[in-house]
Structure 1
Amino acid sequence: MDSLADAVLNGATPAQLEREPLPGDYPAVHTRAEDVEMFRGVDDKDVRKSLHVGRVPMPELAPDEVLVAVMASSINYNTVWSATFEPVSTFAFLNKLGKQGGWAARHDQPHHVLGSDASGVVVRAGSAVRRWKAGDHVVVSCVQVDDQEPATHADGMMGAEQRIWGYETNFGGLAHYTVVRASQLLSKPAHLTWEESASTMLTAATSYRMLISDRGARIKQGDIVLIWGATGGLGAFAVQLVKNAGGIPVGVVSSQAKAEILRRMGCDVVIDRTEIGMDGDAAPSPEKTIELGKRLGRAIRERVGEDPHVVFDFIGQATFGISVFVVRRGGAVVTCGSSTGYTHQFDNRYLWMNLKRIIGSHAANLQEQWECNRLFKLGMLSPVLSATYPLAEAAEAARLVQTNRHTGKVGVLALAPEPGLGITDPELRARIGEERLSPLAPRVPALAG
């Protein structure tokens, strides 16, 4: 542990933090460019073989950036994509970014520090940073934008230079330190632990834009929303958002164990995929897609009497054709990813003749992230952390997500020595209650692994 990290852990003042020297390198979870071809022709692309935990050089800070001492991070599926070098190697992203020159050149390295979530303490602020200073407790938005690009000022996600930090950029959050732009920072909810607050922003804000934002489905009171993967990171937040909006969440899961978890979360309708004869993640044939859609539609109508207004789909190839079929006339399928494959097939008759819509959604702009984070601060959204690993075992955490053996979010401790730290508003936490705050977490925090 370097002296700056020690100062952070000991609650040093902002002035003391600024006096401590920056370490020349730091521990980080990273991939290596030399490994890009390692999984060619391999069926099981085990991320434990490609994810390394070791020291990497400390980058120089640009004027509009901050250096955050990372207390905790979490695993997102983009870490799995990075570690399997699919659908493309993320080193291609770094190389393209580096060709811009200037400060961007720092990103093109033979190693890629991963991680698109983090909570921590600001320890340095660039000369152009106005709103953040050393000592601030923050969470990090996963989106980097170019504020000199006109489209960014209409919607940050529409800018051509928008990138996902820790996936399409270097210096991600699965590390002791991370370099982020000041425009990525949000205040940490004071009643949450480091690991809880580090497990929310990417998935919760993505779900917020998909369902609540005027750029997404804009659900309203009474809307029936079908949610695939309802106990995953995205789906578990989708269930909460639908409930908060006065809608009716219909959660689909892949096992009875996950169905029980979903019921404990308060989901109104729970459907096990095996109930409709859907098994595995392979894309069904066109005929099978229609049959599965009919079965799912009947199951939903038996429980709530109507077809869904909105389908929340990040599963992709295995579910998308069913989603298009099952959503009601005039309804919308909103998608933000394709964890089972990117090539979607659907019968267009059911889309065009029934005036349905497909809405593509990606992450969230800073305002949407801020609005979502506000819901956590108010206690209206709760983390869905189910396990926490130390940084040294981040590869095991990523493998858990890769093999879909997790529920909710899987956290990773960076500088935080143990779970349960970082709470600065215990009164609010007590008012909300432990069970409601993190329904999937063990009642006594303990390291997994």
Structure 2
Amino acid sequence: MNTLSDLAIAGAEPERIAQAPVPGEYLATYIRAEDVGLFGADADRDVRRSLHVGPVAMPELAPDEVLIAVMASSVNYNTVWSAMFEPVPTFRFLEQFAREGGWAARHDLPYQVVGSDAAGVIVRVGSGVRRWRVGDHVVVSPAYVDDQEAASHADGMLGAEQRAWGFETNFGGLAHYSVVRASQLIPKPSHLTWEEAACNTLCAGTAYRMLVSDRGARMKQGDVVLIWGAAGGLGAYAVQFVKNGGGTPIGIVGSEAKAEALRRLGCDVIVQRSEFGLAGDEGADPRHSVEIGRRLGKIIRRAVGEDPHIVFEHVGRATFGISMFVVRRGGAVVTCGSSTGYHHEFDNRYLWMKLKRVIGSHVANLQEQWESNRLFQQGRIVPTMAEVFPMAEVGEAARLVQTNRHTGKVAVLCLAPERGLGVTDPALRERIGADRLNPFAGLATSALVG
């Protein structure tokens, strides 16, 4: 019980943690620059082939950074993009970052430690860190911002040098240790386990900004909100924010199993894609998207009596034209991604003639992350974890997300030796209830995916 990892896992006193030596290397999930051409013409791009788990060198700590012993992390779609080397290899981002010089040069390596979520224990703080201490339990915002850039002081997401940690930077969260800026830190909700807490920050913060923030759709009480992929990592948090804010969520899913997940969240209206004839990517064609949108609109009006005020978009090419058609006159389509493709086609008449709006949204600034985290601490919003993998099987975890066979979030245990650790307020956990905190329990899919 003398190593730094052992002391962090055991919750040792900060003084003991601070005195333990930092190891020269650590276990991490990484991709390699030499593998960029690995897949060739293979359309599948199976991420189990490109994600590696092994020792990497411990980076030096900058004055505004902390070193975290990562207890748990989770798989987000940006890790899938990294491991597929699409739409561009992320080593290009590391090279661009390194051109800033100074501490940024550390990031340009022949490997990249990936992962944009983490929950863990601070084990070292840089000389310029003031508000955090060794021993603090934290979760990490993926927004890696430059506080010396003027635009960052209006909104951290507006800075030209804002980056996604573990995607556009090195030293990400799917590892035993991670280096993050102090401006990424958020207190870990005291009643959550490590793996529950590790599932929330990226997806919940993104959904909060899209729907609740004054920089997003500014959802109000009574709003009808259509949510694509409503049982996935982003969508399941969107359903909760709409419910918590007095709106009516309409969740779109692709299977009965995912419909059951939404019932557990109390989603008001659940629609399977087959009900309105969306079986593949035919919605990408503007000629088809209008007709599919008409069918979906009829289902929505039959269920709630009106068209959606807001459409929550992240699917992209396959659904964007439908979203643009189905949202009401004066309504908003808010988008944060394009998992089915970035090049969208839609009938622009329905945008300009009906005064609709398209709102671009990306992750969340630190204040939005803290506000989102506060709702978790209050028990108003809960984790959507359905799967937990050991880090040794991170390839299988990422494959589950790549093939869209997951429900909610897929967690990964890093230093935590087992599930259920990290709770420091068991009384609050008992008041909220374990069932309430784990609505997707028992919905796990097979770990072995094709």
TM bracket (short chain)? over 0.9
**Secondary structure, counterpart of 2:342 in structure 1:** coil
| Kept after mapping to 2: 8 A contact 1:211/1:219 | yes
What does 1:238-317 correspond to in 2, within 5 Å?
238-281=238-281, 283-317=283-317
**Secondary structure, counterpart of 1:261 in structure 2:** helix
**Secondary structure, counterpart of 1:208 in structure 2:** helix
**Secondary structure, counterpart of 1:30 in structure 2:** strand
| Kept after mapping to 1: 8 A contact 2:39/2:45 | yes
Name the counterpart of 1:422: 422
CA distance in 2, matches of 1:82, 1:363: 17
Name the counterpart of 2:165: 165
| Kept after mapping to 2: 8 A contact 1:65/1:129 | yes
Deviation of 1:101 after TM superposition, in Å, equals 1.1
2:62 aligned with 1:71: no
**Secondary structure, counterpart of 1:105 in structure 2:** helix
CA distance in 1, matches of 2:85, 2:145: 24
**Secondary structure, counterpart of 1:359 in structure 2:** strand
The one-letter code matched in structure 2 to 1:134 is V
CA distance in 2, matches of 1:23, 1:281: 49
Render the CA deviation track for 1:304-330: whole Å, top value 9, x for unaligned.
010000000100000000000000000
**Secondary structure, counterpart of 1:238 in structure 2:** helix
| Kept after mapping to 2: 8 A contact 1:289/1:322 | yes
Name the counterpart of 2:52: 52
CA distance in 2, matches of 1:188, 1:284: 40
Name the counterpart of 2:339: 339
Deviation of 1:435 after TM superposition, in Å, equals 1.3
Deviation of 1:442 after TM superposition, in Å, equals 3.6
Q: TM-score, normalised by structure 1?
A: 0.98
| Kept after mapping to 2: 8 A contact 1:69/1:123 | yes
In 2 relative to 1, CA 48–397 (structure 1 residues): closer, same or farther, beyond 3 Å? same
What does 1:10-409 correspond to in 2, within 5 Å?
10-281=10-281, 283-409=283-409
CA distance in 1, matches of 2:246, 2:15: 47
Q: TM-score, normalised by structure 2?
A: 0.98
The one-letter code matched in structure 2 to 1:235 is G
Deviation of 1:440 after TM superposition, in Å, equals 0.5
| Kept after mapping to 1: 8 A contact 2:284/2:344 | no
CA distance in 1, matches of 2:258, 2:126: 45
Deviation of 1:6 after TM superposition, in Å, equals 1.1
Deviation of 1:335 after TM superposition, in Å, equals 0.1
The one-letter code matched in structure 2 to 1:8 is A
Deviation of 1:280 after TM superposition, in Å, equals 2.0
Deviation of 1:260 after TM superposition, in Å, equals 1.9
Deviation of 1:129 after TM superposition, in Å, equals 0.3
**Secondary structure, counterpart of 1:380 in structure 2:** coil
| Kept after mapping to 2: 8 A contact 1:388/1:447 | no
Name the counterpart of 1:439: 439
| Kept after mapping to 1: 8 A contact 2:284/2:320 | no
Deviation of 1:281 after TM superposition, in Å, equals 3.8
Paired-residue identity, %: 67
In structure 2, stretches of 5+ residues that fail to align are: none
The one-letter code matched in structure 2 to 1:117 is D
The one-letter code matched in structure 2 to 1:192 is L
Name the counterpart of 1:3: 3
Render the CA deviation track for 1:342-383: whole Å, top value 9, x for unaligned.
001110000000000000000000000000000000111100
Deviation of 1:10 after TM superposition, in Å, equals 2.3
The one-letter code matched in structure 2 to 1:62 is A
CA distance in 1, matches of 2:140, 2:261: 28
CA distance in 1, matches of 2:390, 2:113: 16
In 2 relative to 1, CA 87–163 (structure 1 residues): closer, same or farther, beyond 3 Å? same
The one-letter code matched in structure 2 to 1:261 is A
Deviation of 1:4 after TM superposition, in Å, equals 0.7
Question: CA RMSD, aligned part only?
Answer: 1.5
Deviation of 1:283 after TM superposition, in Å, equals 4.7
| Kept after mapping to 2: 8 A contact 1:282/1:340 | no
The one-letter code matched in structure 2 to 1:386 is A
The one-letter code matched in structure 2 to 1:352 is W
| Kept after mapping to 2: 8 A contact 1:17/1:134 | yes
Render the CA deviation track for 1:186-235: whole Å, top value 9, x for unaligned.
10000000000000000000000000000000011110000000000100
CA distance in 1, matches of 2:414, 2:363: 24
Deviation of 1:3 after TM superposition, in Å, equals 1.2
**Secondary structure, counterpart of 1:362 in structure 2:** coil
**Secondary structure, counterpart of 2:28 in structure 1:** strand
CA distance in 1, matches of 2:89, 2:239: 33
The one-letter code matched in structure 2 to 1:98 is A
| Kept after mapping to 2: 8 A contact 1:199/1:411 | yes
| Kept after mapping to 2: 8 A contact 1:72/1:412 | yes
CA distance in 2, matches of 1:415, 1:263: 33
